[in-house]
Chain A
Amino acid sequence: MAKYKMHMLVCGGTGCHASEGQMLFENLKKEVQDNNLENDVQVIATGCFGFCEKGPIVKVIPDNTFYVSVEPKDAKEIVAEHALKGRAVKRLLYFDPVRKEQIPDSKHMGFYKKQLRIALRNCGMIDPENINEYLAADGYEAMGKVLLEMTPEEAIKEVMDSGLRGRGGGGFPTGLKWQIASKNHADQKYVVCNADEGDPGAFMDRSILEGDPHTVLEAMVINGYAIGATKGLIYIRAEYPLAIHRLKIAIDQAREYGLLGTDILGSGFDFDVEIRYGAGAFVCGEETALIHSMEGERGEPTFKPPFPAQSGYLGKPTNVNNVETYANIPVIITKGAKWFSSIGTEKSKGTKVFALAGKINNVGLIEVPMGITLREVIFEIGGGIQGGKKFKAVQTGGPSGGCLTEKHLDTPIDFDNLLSVGSMMGSGGMIVMDEDDCMVAVAKFYLEFTVEESCGKCSPCRIGNKRLHEQLDIISKGNATEKDLDNLRNLSNVIKDTSLCGLGQTSPNPVLSTMDNFWDEYLAHVNEKRCPSGVCKDLIRYEVIAENCVGCTACARNCPVNCISGERKQLHVIDQALCIKCNACLEKCKFNAIAVI
């Protein structure tokens, strides 16, 4: 076997894949071959590195050189310079916008410095399509340990002692969930992996399945053994073709090695896994809706109890855990509950993966220990706000979460703290907003999503969210009164109080938290008919600033509705009646002569 001195890890996640990552990978391989380096340099397609803002990524081991925005044509130079001569290709290094300098390797990048990778430990490290790489990275050892050296009770206890809580959004103690399922006796039980990731902008589950599919399979076997289930189902949305492709390969490889199937590792325990496809409905992330969908029924939640642990898939006891939750399990078994519970806060142990998005410099996927502050995440890992603008709010918990502000920045992130400040952990979406974001528009955006994704079964969610959205629309058009704001708050509270499932019980959170934290903005829309951030189209107008206008005609030429008039070298005027507020004039004006008022 070749003894490689250098590994080139090429991101093979969906994001980088989409931006010609596959071609880059092939070019690198070809260059290595052309230079007769195939025994020295190994080129590997891995899972996501998380730093999606600057994909495709190539990381060179052992020096951890971190190349960003690499194009297929750069392969030649990387191999010639780095592999042959040992010199980094400087132009491809990451340029830190805050420190204003190039960063030579990942160890010196703020993005990675404060991260602690447990669930993502193998993502970007191993070739997800090669089970041998997973085995080399301690793969299936935890499973072996559980099957051969532990009783089901001991396995459950280990997970319970670790303090692991469900990463899909609910935060229910995983060990307790397992224990309940283990105590319900039946001729057949099921273990279900919830890979129906639906929060807008969240893609941690997809990344884990793409980057480290075996870890999920291993955890499911452990789960099955612990609760007495021999069948595992992975419910994954059909829009995740790469994850499905890699899962299928992983399942086949695990079966070939006998790590799935009958009498696993001679333990006498049988377990196998099947994939089920979802059509991508947000509500199917809810356990009961997910189970109905798997059964071929309409993906609608039903009242709990009965919980899936009592009567789940096909009426049998079923344990449902999310992908990220599962990704923690093998590590907990190998390193022990004590180790795991030493990380994090009192009630939230371990780490959490977040998808950073919005007006932040380093958009991407990160894993951090519980207890880290929002400030550290946004300003250190995330590299602060784009374009040096002012931070305004961060939305956590996806469409069900709330918007947190400056005053919450030093809150240590964990399940309970986020709840106590009016937001939630959710599945780990984190969207950062700056001074240009209007909070009424933000709330409206999230409601648009929930209106779309409500299953329609219960009245408050089906009609209430629609009305919330309509009310927000009225506010954003300047047609609301303060009484409407009272109604909005009452309606929000009633929807939370009366909805059938978690979707409706949390969907008004963006409205309530923006009302709580940005009341002035609502009042400005209602009383002054003004959008302070200049976002709500009906409340803004574009004006020419007379002293700046030189009459260059650029605005008039670019106006799609020809509503700007003015002779060359004369002051231009915008006809407000015709203006559609497309922003084209402002973008084209080189003299700062167009303003939003």
Chain B
Amino acid sequence: MELIKLTIDNRTVEVEKGTTIFIAAKQLDITIPTLCYMNLKDLNIEHKPGGCRICVVEVEGRRNLAPACATECSEGMVVKTHSVRVLNARRTVLELIISDHPFDCLICAKSGNCDLQDMAVKLGVRDIPFKGEKSTYKPDFSPAIIRDMDKCIMCRRCETMCNDFQTVGVLSGIHRGFEAVVAPAFERDLDHSECTYCGQCVAVCPTAALTEIDHTNQLINDLSDSSKTVVVQTAPAVRAALGEEFGMEPGTLVTGKMVAALRQLGFNFVFDTDFAADLTIMEEGTELLDRLSRHLNGDKEVRLPILTSCCPGWVSFFEYHYPDLLDVPSTARSPQQMFGAIAKTYFAEKQKLNRKDMIVVSIMPCVAKKYECTREEFATDGNPDVDYSISTRELAKLIKSANIDFKALPDEDFDKPLGESTGAAVIFGTTGGVIEAATRTAYELHTGEELEKVDFEALRGFEGIRSATVNFKGLDVNIGIAHGLGNARKLLDDVRAGKSEYHAIEIMACPGGCIGGGGQPLHHGDTSILKARAKAIYAEDEGKTLRKSHLNPDIIKLYDEFLGKPGSELAHKLLHTHYFEKKIKHISMD
């Protein structure tokens, strides 16, 4: 390892050869401001297009200013990060960027959480000397994501997520010069692209160019309508991140406060998606065992591996890109949709409610869930099982706007019966969790014996692709796990090529699984936050008395009273689905 000595702001620092000025400065606790640079260390993504030019610094002997994010250190280099020349240039460039940005901060969705706004505050911009044309584009409202490219600052982070990390390849730079913008091919809208609505573009957007569709106003209307029974379900990853919006440390579990807040907001029933996660395990685990045993008995019709199907981004991805493998994923619906189906049948019957008078809302760490609940197959007579989904961020906004002092709330419990859950359901929120939960149940159902240790450490972790073999008493089950669609693509290509050795694969579209979902509080490039959330999820699991889905008493009751057994005809009708080959929608010419 070659070491290089250089001077930054009159202080000497020694770094490895190949280190950029930006990283070297960090070692001296100098944070050089930037609007486009993004370093997602745990995902091995360093996005440094050198495009915003905010991070320029003065390097002695160099004709022009150097972008700190892209310039490598060299021996004896003398760098100034805040000379008058640098400050003037940085401020002028920022003024330029703002001059091509709407001035609607007061009413902007990202106000208070916007990198550009923060930068303007930081550099003390008070006046924009450039009064000129602003670039305007047609706003794009998809079922899940809003693209308002008037607010795009061309940092291109979304492209890196969409193309490099997810390999979805919907977003790229088009047009030139002042008209340059990030957009789907031919400047189509997202609904006419192969977008999976994973929302990772939204998660990294520094401004409000990419935001989620906002359902909070609709929710407020529904909550204030006394003729409606409003039921809410909360996904496992939400409780591990919501606290961050209220200034709590990443990784703080706020399950009880969240329930209390939802009740204060006026929901009639506060339920848990975790209940449906346990249900998912019953259905998916049974399906896994069934397919596995038929396969082992030589049934050539059965395809392995079985793939999880909880993640709507992932479902869209294989519907677009692997239409030849539609029979590979589990037919089990996602927990959100299972919950909706049970809420509007089993629970409605119990409450003697007409489904039309019920509103089922989900709180999700996800943007794609907004799209998932609009899928036609998840509705009865046009009435959707889940009416709409709001993100963790939207929930936080709602709590704030209702003037609820979140941190001071007492812990409360979910309502019954759809609020009961096990530890197995909680870990759905992180990568590897679904397959671990399935393993706990499948093992016991298959072997008829109780697990000595419910924690499968081998299935946990943050690597993009992981694999482990679990011994089911003489039967080795090979398990694969991928998070991020780029990683999923690698496993899928093997399946397509017939080279996959796995029996079961869990796939989540987002980094770290749902805890890193597109609807979560923004991590602003700090992936250690994702790890803290995962830790919280496992802690909640560990604190639970019941940690296996098949032991959830209300699930057992549901089967006894209503569904019969896993995989029954009714279970199939309500809890399973099928997949469709997806093609980019045509744009009608009228």
A–B touching in complex (CB under 8 Å): yes
**A490 with B88: CB separation less than 8 A:** yes
In the complex, B100 has a CB within 8 A of chain A? yes
**A455 with B177: CB separation less than 8 A:** yes
Q: Known contacts A453-B176, A459-B52; can you find 4 more A-B pairs with CB under 8 A?
A: A457-B154, A459-B97, A467-B96, A496-B64
In the complex, A466 has a CB within 8 A of chain B? yes
- Set of chain A residues within 8 Å of B180, measured between Cβ atoms: 454-457, 462
B547 to chain A, nearest CB (A): 49
In the complex, B129 has a CB within 8 A of chain A? yes
**A460 with B173: CB separation less than 8 A:** no
State in angstroms the CA–CA spacing of A500 and B132 once bound together. Answer: 23
What are 5 of the A-B contact pairs (CB < 8 Å)? A455-B176, A457-B180, A458-B52, A498-B64, A499-B64
A497 with B172, Cβ < 8 A, contacts A455-B180, A466-B178 known? no
Taking CB atoms and an 8 Å cut-off, the chain B residues in 49-64 that contact chain A are: 49-54, 56, 64
State in angstroms the CA–CA spacing of A453 and B64 once bound together. Answer: 21
**B173 with A298: CB separation less than 8 A:** yes
Taking CB atoms and an 8 Å cut-off, the chain A residues in 428-469 that contact chain B are: 451-460, 462-467
A458 with B51, Cβ < 8 A, contacts A465-B177, A466-B132, A470-B130 known? yes
In the complex, A116 has a CB within 8 A of chain B? no
The 3 closest A-B pairs by CB, nearest first: A456-B180, A454-B177, A470-B132
A399 to chain B, nearest CB (A): 13
For the complex, count residues of A whose C-beta is within 8 A of B. 35
State in angstroms the CA–CA spacing of A490 and B173 once bound together. Answer: 29
State in angstroms the CA–CA spacing of A462 and B180 once bound together. Answer: 8
A462 with B154, Cβ < 8 A, contacts A456-B179, A498-B64, A500-B51 known? yes
Taking CB atoms and an 8 Å cut-off, the chain B residues in 163-196 that contact chain A are: 172-173, 175-181
A454 with B178, Cβ < 8 A, contacts A298-B172, A300-B173 known? yes
**A498 with B89: CB separation less than 8 A:** yes
A170 to chain B, nearest CB (A): 13
Q: Which residue of A lies closest to B180 (CB)?
A: A456
- Set of chain A residues within 8 Å of B176, measured between Cβ atoms: 281, 283, 452-456
In the complex, B67 has a CB within 8 A of chain A? yes
A296 to chain B, nearest CB (A): 12
**B100 with A463: CB separation less than 8 A:** yes
**B49 with A451: CB separation less than 8 A:** no
State in angstroms the CA–CA spacing of A465 and B99 once bound together. Answer: 12
State in angstroms the CA–CA spacing of A494 and B54 once bound together. Answer: 12
Q: Which residue of B lies closest to A283 (CB)?
A: B176
Taking CB atoms and an 8 Å cut-off, the chain B residues in 64-115 that contact chain A are: 64-65, 67, 70-72, 85, 88-89, 92-93, 96-97, 99-100
- Map CB proximity to A onto B21-65 as digits: 1 under 8 Å, 0 otherwise: 000000000000000000000000000111111101000000011
**A452 with B92: CB separation less than 8 A:** no
- Map CB proximity to B onto A271-307 as digits: 1 under 8 Å, 0 otherwise: 0000000000101000000000000001010110100
In the complex, A151 has a CB within 8 A of chain B? no
**B49 with A457: CB separation less than 8 A:** yes
A457 with B97, Cβ < 8 A, contacts A494-B92, A500-B51 known? no
**A451 with B51: CB separation less than 8 A:** no
**B89 with A467: CB separation less than 8 A:** no
In the complex, B153 has a CB within 8 A of chain A? yes
**A460 with B93: CB separation less than 8 A:** yes
**A467 with B130: CB separation less than 8 A:** yes
- Map CB proximity to A onto B552-575 as digits: 1 under 8 Å, 0 otherwise: 000000000000000000000000
In the complex, A342 has a CB within 8 A of chain B? no
State in angstroms the CA–CA spacing of A467 and B178 once bound together. Answer: 10
- Set of chain A residues within 8 Å of B172, measured between Cβ atoms: 298
Of the candidates A459, A466, A487, the one whose C-beta lies within 8 Å of that of B154 is A459
- Map CB proximity to B onto A496-538 as digits: 1 under 8 Å, 0 otherwise: 1111100001000000000000000000000000000000000
State in angstroms the CA–CA spacing of A138 and B77 once bound together. Answer: 50
Taking CB atoms and an 8 Å cut-off, the chain A residues in 63-87 that contact chain B are: none
**B67 with A303: CB separation less than 8 A:** yes
In the complex, A265 has a CB within 8 A of chain B? no
- Majority secondary structure of chain B interface residues (helix, strand, loop or mixed): loop
Of the candidates B53, B100, B133, the one whose C-beta lies within 8 Å of that of A500 is B53
- A463, A499, A500: which has the most chain B beta carbons within 10 Å? A463
Chain A residues with CB under 8 Å of chain B are 281, 283, 298, 300, 302-303, 305, 451-460, 462-467, 470-471, 487, 490-491, 494, 496-500, 505
For the complex, count residues of B whose C-beta is within 8 A of A. 38
**A494 with B88: CB separation less than 8 A:** yes
State in angstroms the CA–CA spacing of A173 and B51 once bound together. Answer: 28
- Map CB proximity to A onto B131-145 as digits: 1 under 8 Å, 0 otherwise: 011000000000000
Of the candidates A451, A497, A498, the one whose C-beta lies within 8 Å of that of B178 is A451
State in angstroms the CA–CA spacing of A7 and B226 once bound together. Answer: 100
**B154 with A491: CB separation less than 8 A:** no
Of the candidates A281, A300, A463, A500, the one whose C-beta lies within 8 Å of that of B97 is A463
Q: Which residue of B lies closest to A452 (CB)?
A: B177
B235 to chain A, nearest CB (A): 37
**A459 with B133: CB separation less than 8 A:** no
- Set of chain A residues within 8 Å of B64, measured between Cβ atoms: 496-499, 505
- Set of chain A residues within 8 Å of B56, measured between Cβ atoms: 497-498
- Set of chain B residues within 8 Å of A490, measured between Cβ atoms: 88, 92
- Set of chain A residues within 8 Å of B133, measured between Cβ atoms: 466, 470
**B92 with A491: CB separation less than 8 A:** yes
A209 to chain B, nearest CB (A): 25
State in angstroms the CA–CA spacing of A456 and B64 once bound together. Answer: 19
A453 with B177, Cβ < 8 A, contacts A459-B53, A459-B97, A499-B53 known? yes
- Set of chain A residues within 8 Å of B65, measured between Cβ atoms: 497-498
- Set of chain B residues within 8 Å of A281, measured between Cβ atoms: 176
- Set of chain B residues within 8 Å of A467, measured between Cβ atoms: 96, 99, 130, 132
**B178 with A462: CB separation less than 8 A:** yes
Of the candidates B50, B53, B129, B153, the one whose C-beta lies within 8 Å of that of A487 is B129
Of the candidates B50, B54, B177, the one whose C-beta lies within 8 Å of that of A451 is B177
- Set of chain A residues within 8 Å of B181, measured between Cβ atoms: 456
Taking CB atoms and an 8 Å cut-off, the chain B residues in 291-329 that contact chain A are: none
**B173 with A464: CB separation less than 8 A:** no
- Set of chain B residues within 8 Å of A491, measured between Cβ atoms: 92, 96, 130
**B173 with A456: CB separation less than 8 A:** yes
A380 to chain B, nearest CB (A): 35
- Set of chain B residues within 8 Å of A465, measured between Cβ atoms: 177-178
State in angstroms the CA–CA spacing of A465 and B96 once bound together. Answer: 10
- Set of chain B residues within 8 Å of A505, measured between Cβ atoms: 64
A393 to chain B, nearest CB (A): 25
**A463 with B72: CB separation less than 8 A:** no
State in angstroms the CA–CA spacing of A455 and B100 once bound together. Answer: 16
- Set of chain A residues within 8 Å of B51, measured between Cβ atoms: 457-459, 500
- Set of chain B residues within 8 Å of A460, measured between Cβ atoms: 53, 92-93, 96
A464 with B96, Cβ < 8 A, contacts A459-B53, A459-B154, A487-B129 known? yes
State in angstroms the CA–CA spacing of A453 and B179 once bound together. Answer: 11
Q: Which residue of A lies closest to B174 (CB)?
A: A298
- Set of chain A residues within 8 Å of B53, measured between Cβ atoms: 458-460, 498-500
B77 to chain A, nearest CB (A): 14
Q: Which residue of B lies closest to A300 (CB)?
A: B173
**B132 with A494: CB separation less than 8 A:** no
A442 to chain B, nearest CB (A): 20
B4 to chain A, nearest CB (A): 14
State in angstroms the CA–CA spacing of A500 and B36 once bound together. Answer: 14
**B96 with A463: CB separation less than 8 A:** yes
State in angstroms the CA–CA spacing of A130 and B150 once bound together. Answer: 55
A498 to chain B, nearest CB (A): 5
B66 to chain A, nearest CB (A): 9
Q: Which residue of A lies closest to B71 (CB)?
A: A303
- B48, B129, B133, B153: which has the most chain A beta carbons within 10 Å? B129
B210 to chain A, nearest CB (A): 18
**B72 with A305: CB separation less than 8 A:** yes
- Set of chain A residues within 8 Å of B93, measured between Cβ atoms: 459-460, 464, 494, 498
Q: Which residue of B lies closest to A501 (CB)?
A: B50
A486 to chain B, nearest CB (A): 10
State in angstroms the CA–CA spacing of A459 and B181 once bound together. Answer: 12
Of the candidates B52, B89, B99, the one whose C-beta lies within 8 Å of that of A494 is B89
